[in-house]
Amino acid sequence: MNRYPSINAIEIVFPPHYYLQQELTDSLRERFWLGSGRRIARFERLHRNVNVKGRYLALPLQAYVDLDSFQRRNDAWIEVATNLGEEALRCLFERSGLDPEDVALLATTTVTGIAVPTLDARLMNRLPLSPRLKRMPLFGLGCLGGAAGIARVADYLHGHPEEAAILLAVELCSLTLQPDDLSIANIIATGLFGDGAAAVLLTGSNHPLMRPGQVRVIASRSLFFPDTERVMGWDIADGGFQVVLSADVPEIAGTRIRPAVDAFLAENGLQRADIAAWVAHPGGPRVIEALEEGLELEDGALSLSRESLAQVGNLSSASVLLILQETLRRQRLEPGSFGLMMAMGPAFCAELVLLQW
């Protein structure tokens, strides 16, 4: 008998403002970089090297000039995140047929803005959700928030198999722009990260929307690597979120993830060769390469991660959910096949989620 929660539906939504990478590079050069006295060619080369072709932005490009304080950036985040979150949830309800009042738990994850009341609370007044809805706002998990959110919601549904729960990830990375920070880490970030939202409906094993063929969440594992606090994250400065992004990220991904993956799979009676689908957050081209080499993956195993990065950039917590959606759409796997979702984030941490078709 099936006793695992299942993924019922996924919706991905973007703001309406899409720009090619060269447009964004040109705008940063003209508006912020030229007066710095730095070697602009180096900044442009860093933008090219992240292999991003274009990205969605929360606001029209010209509006970013007026975001001259943390308050203005965060106010814009609250407005756009609430609108985008509402759109994602409405699309999810339409696709799945679930009545909003039947959602038992709404988990939200973000790392690009702050709101109290939180995003989930603000959505309560926009959608006919139950006033008894359990809300679980998650902040600070960064890029691993999508995988960790799936794991935490699945943990909840193990104990409530008759219920349905939703994970909503909203990331507006462009609104963390720090134009005066000319560090290599920030220049890379301005070329790498994009904006978007993802909503995922999960149902318990006894829920009426449970259907044969849905992908099940079998197990999960949280990983914390000691003494890596300055590898990835934010410094909270007067101007807002200032990126911390170490050059050691690819090396850590290439050397520390494999032993953890092998141990996790072994505990579930599996090996890497048993994984038919790798659903990996696209941290950047060097991180993808490091995972391929470290895990000894076949050519093309992370092609959807590369494709997602090229088309929309790194969406932080929403990226791995976009890749999961594309995996479900485009990979026709035999029933019983296994997949592994994985993402890495601040501190340095990782989250592994074992899936079965």
Q: Which residues are catalytic?
A: 143
Our measurement of the distance from residue 255's CA atom to the centroid of its chain's CA atoms, rounded to an integer in Å, reads: 22
Q: What is the 3-state secondary structure (H, E, C) of 98-115?
A: CCHHHEEEEEEEECCCCC
Distance CA 302, CA 281 (A): 9
Q: What share of the chain is helix, strand, coil (3-state, %, to 5)?
A: 45, 25, 30
Residue 42 CB contacts under 8 Å (≥ 6 apart), including other chains: none
Give the H or E element holding residue 18: strand 17-20
Distance CA 349, CA 229 (A): 9
> Is the Cβ–Cβ distance between 172 and 198 less than 8 Å?
no
> Is the Cβ–Cβ distance between 217 and 5 less than 8 Å?
yes
